Chain A
Amino acid sequence: MTTPLASREDTALLETRGLTKHFPIRRGLLGRTVGQVRAVDGVDLRIRSGRTVALVGESGCGKSTLGRCLLRVYEPTSGEIRYHRPDGGVVDLAALGERALKPYRSEIRLIFQDPFASLNPRMTLLQIVGEPLRVNLGLSAAETEERVADLLRRVGLRPEYLHRYPNAFSGGQRQRVGIARALALAPRLVVADEAVSALDVSIRAQILNLLKDIQEESDLTYLFISHDLGVVEYMADEVSVMYVGRVVETGDTDDLYGRPLHPYTEALLSAVPDPDPSRRRRERIVLKGEVADPSRIPAGCPFHPRCFYAEDRCRTEIPALREIRPGRTAACHFAGELDLKGVEES
């Protein structure tokens, strides 16, 4: 590999260190705090520039909360969000005040899951997509209109739609509007939180292709949050698997799918219904029980009550996320020793 590419690939755009978000559980008239929901619990995540990093896991695993913490939609309880500026400097977004944060707000943007709930029905497309331009760049009305028309064209919508309202559009078209809004300020990192989950198969494929095309055109970095492992395999270069607030495995997509290291990853992959009927898996791993409650995380390894390989040690000792092979980390006492099944190549 030539040096410029290799060095670019190794440049982190954003890293979290011990990122934590706890939501207090309040009870009674005085709102006393009686417990904590540990939604995100000490996450170290590294997002390299120009790559697509996927965050996967079941509902309630904290993947959306983590994504929102990066944008400071939620205030992290503790930990760092180290953001590498284009000029090479590094800044901790978690420590910045509202004013100091503002310039970075345009560099990290979010695409929401539900295209019906995330667009204001009383605003035209021009207003929806143009708002960030007006607020952040102070463009004139004519300039804004031109830029918005351009953005709509980029996401595959006709510029004539400028003055229409969201209710005139289908789910797929609305999601394109949401993407245009996220792209308006030429961000460096886009957090796509279940961006295609609400869409039908044929429309979903169109949006996935669009996201890929945009990434190629403008050297974007994606944090792709999804519960759909089929879609993640198609989109992501790297994957981080979360389980009740923690990252339990990370790695290159192909290696993680082919040779998982954590029993939870193995079970997740095995649960995906394969659209190829000739590959009906008779001996599917079906996890017992349900996702642990993040306000009452089990002692030891949080996954041990559902794990088929759990031993005494797992009930008491929390496994740390450690490197098992180069580029592959897992938080399991027996990672690398277990013979786990991944997805066969097709």
Chain B
Amino acid sequence: MAASDETVLRIEDLHTHFELDDGVVHAVDGVDLDIRRGEVLAVVGESGCGKSVMARSVLRLIDRPGRITGGHIWVRTGDGTEGTDGMADMVTADARVVRSVRGKRVGMVFQEPMTSMSPMHTLGNQIGEAIMLHESVTKAEARERTVELLGRVGISAPERRADEYPFQMSGGMLQRAMIAMALACGPELLIADEPTTALDVTTQAQILDLLRSLQQDTGMAVMLITHDLGVAAQMADEVAVMYLGSVVERGPVAEVFREPRHPYTKALLRSVPKLGSRSRERLQPVRGMVPHAYRRPPGCPFHPRCDEFIAGRCDVTVPSPVPGPEPSRVVSCLLYEEVSA
């Protein structure tokens, strides 16, 4: 394996289910994904498609009644002793390994900076804690690193800000602090779950620029979870489109957005007003709505809303991933299985 396409995360047939009184929600239902070093992968989809649960599964941040029921999540542990290729399976790893991966190998940025930070501790203490947990440094050294990190994410007067509490900062500033915390131990993968959704456009642009430049400086990989196709188009190298717990299409963002193959990807792209289209061509939204979590359609999960639905095929057979036309592209739709069969 060449150094340039080293895999930092490989998800194989991941299933995360929520067992509730009224039934089982298959939030993540057989996801396959991998991210290579230095790659920015956008995971897009509408609410309820399982993208956040998938991301949280990677760090084993799923609380009861949720449970990872199957599959593998391979991450690099860095010490070369675990499993194959120095990679450990987060699904089966013990608590010690999970702790060593969280915040160290894989950093995470959450959507709501206000609710993701402790209101009782200063920024400096929260970021410093993450550093001291993973590295043998003194308090003073951790503080020095914290101040440096805050400066790096564009917070002015970091010395003073480190002693402030979250309520004293704006949303944009807190999101910068969250990013600083996630980067504290130089992770090789950053998972950013809707990092700009709670922010204004102008602040969003600042944060996206910051993420881009940090990614380029450090060479880390980024998994960017977003519902905003614009953010995906502007930020990502690769894109994975999710619908009802599985990845329906995957490939380089330029190719997937230019020439989408899966009917859901096509419909999603048609639903967004094109910027600068003076014609005001009528939007063509996806029909119907995402089905209720307990009532997952048989066969292809998208078939009740699909324009190219084939009765007797799509509602019976679960499509499997079909590669092509470009080498790195995959689509899960029976339309393409027939062509290749």
Residues of A participating in the B interface, judged by any CB pair closer than 8 Å: 58-59, 170, 172-173, 200-206, 208-209, 212, 227, 229-231, 233-234, 254, 257-258, 267-268, 270-278, 280-281, 284, 286-287, 290-291, 343-346
Contacts and interface: CB of A to CB of B under 8 A. Distances in A.
Contacts of B289: 170, 172-173, 202-203
Contacts of A273: 204-205, 208, 228, 230-231, 233-235
Contacts of B284: 205
B282 A209 contact: yes
8 contacts: A202-B286, A209-B285, A233-B276, A234-B283, A286-B205, A344-B276, A345-B276, A345-B277
Contacts of A200: 46-47, 227, 290
Contact of A346 (B206, B228, B277): B277
A202 B285 contact: yes
Given A234-B283, A273-B230, A346-B277, A205 B271 contact: yes
A203 B285 contact: yes
Nearest to A270: B205
Contacts of B270: 205
Nearest to B285: A205
Contacts of B46: 200-203
Contact of B278 (A170, A286, A290, A345): A345
Contacts of B204: 271, 273
Contacts of B254: 277-278
Interface of B: 46-47, 170, 172-173, 200-206, 208-209, 227-235, 253-254, 257-258, 267-278, 280, 282-286, 289-290
A254 B229 contact: no
Contacts of B277: 233, 345-346
A343 B276 contact: yes
A254 B228 CA distance: 23
Contact of B267 (A202, A233, A343, A345): A202
Nearest to A257: B276
- The 3 A-B residue pairs whose C-beta atoms are closest, nearest first, are A273-B230, A205-B285, A234-B273
B275 A275 contact: yes
Contact of A277 (B200, B253, B271, B283): B253
Contact of B201 (A227, A280, A346): A227
A206 B268 CA distance: 12
Contacts of A173: 289
Given A209-B282, A277-B254, A345-B278, A58 B201 contact: yes
B280 A275 contact: no
A230 B285 contact: no
B233 A274 contact: yes
Given A227-B201, A268-B201, A278-B254, A201 B233 contact: no
A288 B278 CA distance: 30
A342 B270 CA distance: 23
A284 B282 contact: no
A201 B268 contact: yes
A228 B304 CA distance: 30
Contact of B283 (A59, A205, A343, A345): A205
Nearest to A205: B285
Contacts of A227: 200-201
B203 A290 contact: yes
Contacts of A258: 278
A284 B209 contact: yes
A254 B278 contact: yes
B202 A287 contact: yes
B229 A201 contact: yes
Contacts of B202: 58, 267-268, 271, 286-287, 291
A233 B276 CA distance: 8
A201 B272 CA distance: 7
A277 B273 contact: no
B201 to A, nearest CB: 4
Given A286-B205, A287-B206, A272 B285 contact: no
Contact of A58 (B200, B230, B275, B283): B200
B272 A230 contact: yes
B209 A272 contact: no
Contacts of A257: 276
Contacts of B208: 273
Contacts of A276: 233, 257, 274-275
B51 to A, nearest CB: 12
B271 A274 contact: no
**Centre residue among A229, A270, A272, A344 by max chain B CB count within 10 A:** A272
A287 B273 CA distance: 24
Given A202-B267, A205-B283, 5 more contacts: A202-B289, A268-B202, A271-B204, A290-B172, A290-B173
